[in-house]
Amino acid sequence: MAKGDVHTVPHGEGWANKVEGNQQVSNTAATKAEAQETGKDMAVKRDAEHLVHKKDGTIGERNTYPRSRDPKKSRG
């Protein structure tokens, strides 16, 4: 069961990961790639969804962990 989805978001001059329901960011990184890697690890450990935002704040990518929870999973 998900304990809060993880969002990788722009944060000041860099990027950050924030867990839904938390007031503060969990961690920060200088680059989007670094933050995305950490965010993925966080989502895998939480069995949650990882949402990667674009610089404008819109969601650019969405990944579900574990994959067996993904409602778009191909059944054939």
Rounded to two decimals, the pTM is 0.83
Candidates 37, 2, 1; CA nearest to 17 is 37
pLDDT of residue 71: 60
pLDDT of residue 1: 36
Give 22-40 pLDDT, tens digit per residue.
999 999 999 999 999 999 9
**pLDDT of 75 strictly over 60:** no
Candidates 72, 60, 63, 14; CA nearest to 39 is 63
Position 61: which residue type?
Answer: E
Return the DSSP state at 63: E
Look at 66 and 73; give whichever has higher pLDDT. 66
Contact 51, 35 (CB under 8 A): no
C-alpha 34/C-alpha 50 separation (Å) is: 14
Give 41-59 pLDDT, tens digit per residue.
999 999 999 999 999 999 9
